[in-house]
Structure 1
Amino acid sequence: MLTVSLSACFSGSGSSGNSSTTSTGSELSVTATGPFNDAAGVGTNSVVTATFSEAINADTLDTSSFTVGPDGEVPMTGTVSLDSETNTGIFQTSGGDFAASTKYTATITTAVKSTDGKALPSNYQWSFTTGAGADLERPTITASDPVDLETGVAINRNISASFSEAMNVATINSSTFFVTDPNTNPVAGTVELVGTTAIFTPANDLAISTKYTATVTTSAEDLAANALAASFIWSFTTGDSVAKGPAPVTLGTAGDYVILAKTGISTTGTTAITGDIALSPAAESFITGFSLVRDATNTFSKSSTVTGKVFAANMAAPTPSMLTTAVSDMETAYTDAAGRSNPDATELGAGNISGLTLTPGLYKWSSGLDIATDVTLSGSKNDVWILQIAGDLTVSNGVKIALAGGALPKNVFWQVAGKTIFGTTSDINGVFLGKTLIDLQTGATFNGRALSQTAVTLDANAVTQPAQ
């Protein structure tokens, strides 16, 4: 059984990510698009896909209800097909590729109906811009969870593989991504694509102290029909524990960066960053204070303050396309975290959790959150925390957000709708998904990821990406 499930919030008729709102029960919705909205550097040989929240009446999906054309011009000639297993419509040009360096708009009209007669509330549109030519680059898998040869894996967690680029959802299914037990018997489960990450969800808890093997085959393809060069195979061994808290937030390629922002990254003082940083759609000139030196390939820069690479949207291909995908994954992750329901605690501490110890779980605040004295998150290495904050997050000077009991920064997700302020000399852990500014003030130490939909500012900080 295949489940394709992405959830995100849209503004207007399209998305800045690759997901939309889920169906309300009375309306059909588009849950994913390929290419992503505002994608840049798209291969001229790519197909265009739209995934729906429900099974589609094939008779309603055709070249009049699913169109693609140069921005503001008459739709081009093409063919439309339906992959019923994934509820995905696929548009392919007729007689050639898309034009190079051209902006296209795709439209799904309200004529599309689900098998039980539901329609979109309005026409759905998104845009993308092609690159200089065809995409001939094979996708790769950039990360897996669990990682290869990991031991002590919780028996109730999902298995995932993150791709380097947008994939054709119709090629991500239970025959291209599967898990087997020590006797090579397949593990029952479902497969979904969230952004650029394929997730296998076992139907039941895995056996304790057992080695499993996960495989992604070469039938998994990107939007230009480029397949993996070889099957990606890895193994892991379960422990005897059950992970507590919600499922982790899927970061996709956004998880390749310790800092990722859209409008600017700046630093003053003596900052030391371990990990790659990236900015898109803003240009490299909006990365300030780093004394950047462009590499000879023109695809990244280096800085004495960064142990890693520095990427920006105005660098040479494939960097622009890579960053568009990462930003889309960041936005999808933010919406995933914001959309989690049934919190374990609401308005804990009336918006001030100073001095508290938080066990694994989902926490929700309808306004801002203040942390004026040390806070501890206590749990095992497999446990997860998601903290939903509808306003600003303010961590006072010198305050420590500590982890205990084996808890890992990569499993702590702070979703912040307002500003995130780390006070001077504070010591912070976790993955921060910020709708606006993430500000690390003088001397703050940070172990995690700062993923901001606006800017990240630093001042003599030590920033380290979390261990996987």
Structure 2
Amino acid sequence: MKTKNFFKILTLAVIVLFQSCSDDEEIAVSGLCPLVTSTIPTNGALNVPFDQVISVTFNKQMRTSTITNESFTIEGLSPIEGTITFEDDASGTTVKFTPSNNLSEDTTYTGRIKTTVKDQEGNALQVAYVWSFTTGITIRPIVLATDPIDEATGVPLNKVITATFSEAMNPLSITNATFSLMNGTTAVPVTFDYFGALVTFTPTVNLLPNTTYTAIIASGVQNLSGVTMASDYEWTFTTGAIVAPFVVFTDPLNNATNVSLNKVIRATFSEVMNPTTINNSTFTLMNGTTLVPVSFSFTGAMVSFTPTSALLENTTYTATITTGAQNPTGNGLTANYVWSFTTIGSAAGIPDIGSLDDIASFGGNAGVTNQGINTVIINGGIATTAASTLVTGFHDGLTGAIYTETPLNVGLVSGGIYTAPPTPGNATTFAIAQQALLDANALYIALSPAAMPGGIDPGAGELGGLTLAPGVYKSNSGTFNISNGNLTLDAQGDPNAVWVFQTASGLTVGIAGPTGAKSVNLINGASASNVFWQVGSTAIINSAGGGVMVGTIVTNSGVTLSTAGNTVQTVLNGRAISLVASVTMVNTTINVPN
């Protein structure tokens, strides 16, 4: 009987224990009372996202009516508002607090669960649960660079302003409200363009000379995530004075004679011009009082004027470029530029060289190489249908582009460099090179024995020491040499005298040794523009350096002017044209004849 009573008393004690929670922590942990088992974010968490949903997980199901904005609070610098929801899981033990607004950056928040929360049996949390966490710092976009830079001077009047940000920006946030260009208190209208993190601002009118402008990017600009800059970005720059363009040189030169009847007239300016201002009003070509119609084309700073019909023989023409010719900023020449030239007396027997008229060297599809520090191409350009990387040791006198120059390989090309891409080669320069190749092939055929038969070989292949009248000369052995002395070409008073030399294999000028250089001399009115060499393989011109070679050399397989290590200048008054191989020169001067 006593045993039964003991078990009844024990059972009643257990029931009472489970019906009310104890303040004893061990009893609470045993599962009788509710406890917070985890939180998101955890206590002490750092760099918490601004849109964080805060959650608390209990050890048992809770009575939802006891969990409210009074019993579950989040407080930063002040209490924040939010919505409380309960996770729909099997246990129903997780409650979430969703802030009404994003959390503030770099702020420590304190979460608190009060003892008024209860479980399903009505047992209360015995001790308030308190924890804290800290949000991260917003990574805001910044301006890394501008063009012009801050306090820049001498800025061109047609300057396109750019700003490079630390990341790609939202184009919709780049507007006249967030970017302004000011001349004092006057806003300058601009248009916008976007290239990832680069934004361009193009004034709709030219800037004023000698004027300080202020550019402002407002903090309202946003990245792709909607984050703004921390503050406005402001910089200033000052424009330069008006610089008028001028004519650097012309082809033909002023007072040139024996100009070919199919001559393309060219003028190279000090800068790229506005094509719309180069027209029949600003350029005229006159035969006395008769206007000669021309068409226009543009290559960088060079403008070509092509007569629509052949020029007349033995006629003086006057070309004029007026002050109406302007650069892109609207500045014109300060005075009319006028020059004259006279055509040849007769075109008979002179081969048509087409676009090669302005090409000093053509390197087929293999390139053009300079290996000296003093190579100069005067009044002409170089070209190849190869990539621009196969032109080495030169810089373009028209554009300033550099083609693999080193301190030991420096060459100036006054008339432009024309190649296939990559940059600085482009579609325009490649088209010019392709036309040069077509004209080179046509000239090679026009100079061949099939087209010009009857050539003689007065020196059995050796031209040195001879004086030759105009005519066609063909090597019987397949090679021509100029090694026993200089070659003299005597026009006998005829300025239109033509010499054509044909060799099925090679052409060699000069011999080894410091005094081995040989030259071609012109007398009695002979012109370098009327001397042609058709070479079946390779031409080697004064490999020891020095000498003066004359004429347009057209080879199948390459031209070499001097060799590496020679410092004495080698001169070619003519052109070095190769159909399928490269042209190499060392300390060479090439003068392109008119």
TM-score (structure 2 length as normaliser): 0.39
Greater RCO, 1 or 2 (C-alpha within 8 Å, sep 6+): 1
TM-score (structure 1 length as normaliser): 0.48
